[in-house]
Amino acid sequence: MLSQLCRLVRFVSMRRAILLFLPAVLVPGFHKAEAQQEQPYFVTYSSQLEEPGNLEIENQNVAASPANANAFFAPTMEFEYGATAWWTAEIYLQGQATANDSAIFTGFRLESRFRVLPSDHWINPVLYVEYEDVNEADKSFLEIVGNDTISGLEVPNAILREEIERSMEGKLILSSNVKGWNISENFIAEKAVTGAEPWEFGYSLGVSRPLTLTASSKSCVFCRQSFAFGGEMFGGLGTSQGFGVGQTQQYLAPLVAMSVPHNLTFKFSPEFGLNDNSAGVLWKFGATYEIEQFRDWFRRKQ
Amino acid sequence: MKARGLVLTVLIAASVVCFGKADGSWLKKVPQSDRVRVNPYADNAEAVKVGANLFTNNCAKCHGENAEGKGSRPSLQSERVKDATDGELAWLLKNGNIYKGMPGWSGLPEQQRWQIVAYVRSLNSQGKAGHP
C-alpha cells in the first residue's frame, strides 16, 4: 500500500492540490466565524439541507492508485443553493486526470433535494432527484450503483469518454439526530434515460458526531468544537435483473471534518475497498465554503 | 384560458408557501410537553455569552446582528418572542417553520440550541421561562 501511496503522491502535483484550496482563494473577502458543523460525509446525504439563500461551493476530490490501472485524480465542483427551507438545488461539474493518459471533463449532474415532513421527527425523510449526463470515464466515486467494478478503470479515457450515460436517479434519504449523533441511510435507484439498461441500485450509510456538543464563547481553529468525525459505508446493490452486493464495489471509510473561520470546512477520508471488485483505498479530501445569504446580493438594499 | 388560470393559482399558492411571512402560527403546533420544557442554561451568564457567539455564526445572517430582523425575516426582539416560553423557542429552533422560510436546526446539538435560547431570552429579558 505504501508504494501505491508514493505513486499517488507523485502524481497529484502541486497544481492539482491547489484545487483543494480554490474556494478559499476565490472568496477571500468574507470574515465570519464557523457556522453549524458540516457533516463529514462524502457519499451519504443527511436530512440537513442548505439554508435558504445560502450558496455552498464544495470542491471534492478523489485520488487512487488501483492495482492494474493508472493512478488518477478526480475533482468535482459542487454548487449547492438553498432555494427554500425545504428545497435545495445543486449542480455538479466533474473531471478527472489519469497518469500516462489524459485530463478530461467527464460531465455534470443537476440535483434537487426536498424535505418531506415540515417538522423534525425521530427519522426524517428527504427525497432526492438527479439528472446526470456523465461519460464512462467518470471516476468521481460520488456513489456506487448497479454492478460497477474497478475493472473499468483499466480502459483508456479516449475510449471511455465516447460513451455518455444520461440517467435519472432517485434517492430516499433517511436521517436521525440522536444525542448529538447523526445517523443517515440513503437508498439509490438509477435508470438510464437512453438505452434499455435495467434499474441499478446502491446504498450508503453514515454515522457522525461533533467532537464536543457544547460550544465555547471564543472563536478558535484547533479546539474540539471545530471537529466532527464519523464513518460511512457505501456500495452497489446490483440491478433489477440481479440484486446483491457480491458483484459490485463496497467501501468502508472513517471520516473527519474540520470547520475553520471564514465559513470553511475541510474534510478527509480514506475509503477502504471491502472486496476484489473495489479499489484498495480511495483517498478523498475536500473543502467547502459557504456564502451566506447569497440571494441578498441580488436584492435591492432596504 | 382555464389552464392559464390554474397556472396562475399554482404560482400564487407557491409564492405564498415559499415566501410567506412569519406570523406566529407555529406557536399552535408546539406540543404541551415541549412548551413546558425548562432551559438547563436559564440565567447562566456564560451560556448567554456562548449563545451570542452561536447566534452570530448561525442566525445573524437572517435575523440581523442584534436580532433586529432583516427584510422580511422577523426581529427576535419582539412581543411574540418575549411571550414565548423557553420550550417554545427551543421547539421552533429544532423544527423550524419551513414553509415560512425558517429552517430546522436539529443538526445543531441540543445543548447549543438551548444556549441560543438563553441568548435570545436575554434580549427579551422580561420573558417567562417554562415551568415543568
Q: Which parts of A103-142 are beta strand (E)?
A: 103-115, 124-135
Task: Please tell me the distance from the alpha carbon of residue B102 to that of residue B90, in angstroms, as a whole number.
Answer: 13
Domain boundaries, chain B: 2-123
What angle is formed at CA B68 by the lines to CA B78 and CA B63, rounded to 5 degrees? Answer: 105
Task: Choose, out of A80, A119, A120, A208, the residue to mutate when testing the contact with B (most B CBs < 10 Å).
Answer: A119
Q: pLDDT value at position A28? A: 39
Domain boundaries, chain A: 2-294
With a cut of 60, say whether residue B19 has pLDDT above it: no
Does residue A134 or residue A220 have the better pLDDT?
Answer: A134
Q: Return mean pLDDT, chain B.
A: 83
Are B57 and A33 in contact (CB < 8 Å)?
yes
Neighbours of A57 (CB within 10 A): 18
Nearest chain B Cα distance for residue A288, angstroms: 16
Considering only CB atoms, which chain B residues are within 8 Å of A216? 50, 53
Considering only CB atoms, which chain B residues are within 8 Å of A213? 109-112
Mean pLDDT of all residues in B21-50: 88
Sign of the alpha-carbon dihedral angle for B127, B93, A86, B77: positive
Task: Please tell me the distance from the alpha carbon of residue A146 to that of residue A165, in angstroms, as a whole number.
Answer: 14
Task: Please tell me the distance from the alpha carbon of residue A81 to that of residue A68, in angstroms, as a whole number.
Answer: 40
Amino acid of residue A12: V
Rg (CA), chain B: 17
Which tens digits make up the pLDDT trace of A184-223?
999 999 999 987 889 999 999 999 999 999 888 877 778 8
Percentage of residues in chain A having pLDDT higher than 70:
87
> Which SS3 state, helix, strand or coil, does residue A267 take?
strand
Nearest to A216 among B50, B96, B109 (CB): B50
Nearest to A26 by CA among A301, A282, A277, A288: A288
Does residue A7 or residue A80 have the better pLDDT?
Answer: A80
Q: Which residues contact B15 (CB under 8 A, 6 or more apart)?
A: none
Please give the biggest Cα pair distance in chain A: 61
Task: Please tell me the distance from the alpha carbon of residue B64 to that of residue B132, in angstroms, as a whole number.
Answer: 32
> Which SS3 state, helix, strand or coil, does residue A239 take?
strand
Which single residue is written with the C-alpha cell 423534525?
A120
With a cut of 70, say whether residue B9 has pLDDT above it: no
Nearest to A271 by CA among A13, A41, A38: A41
Q: pLDDT value at position A193? A: 93
Q: pLDDT value at position B106? A: 92
With a cut of 50, say whether residue A15 has pLDDT above it: no
Q: pLDDT value at position A168? A: 97
| CATH topology for the B2-123 domain | Cytochrome Bc1 Complex; Chain D, domain 2 (1.10.760)
Grid cell locating A235: 456500495
Choose the CATH number for A2-294 among 2.40.160.40, 3.55.10.10, 3.40.50.1970, 3.50.50.60: 2.40.160.40
Which tens digits make up the pLDDT trace of A143-195?
999 998 998 899 999 999 999 999 999 999 999 999 999 999 999 999 999 87
Percentage of residues in chain B having pLDDT higher than 90:
62
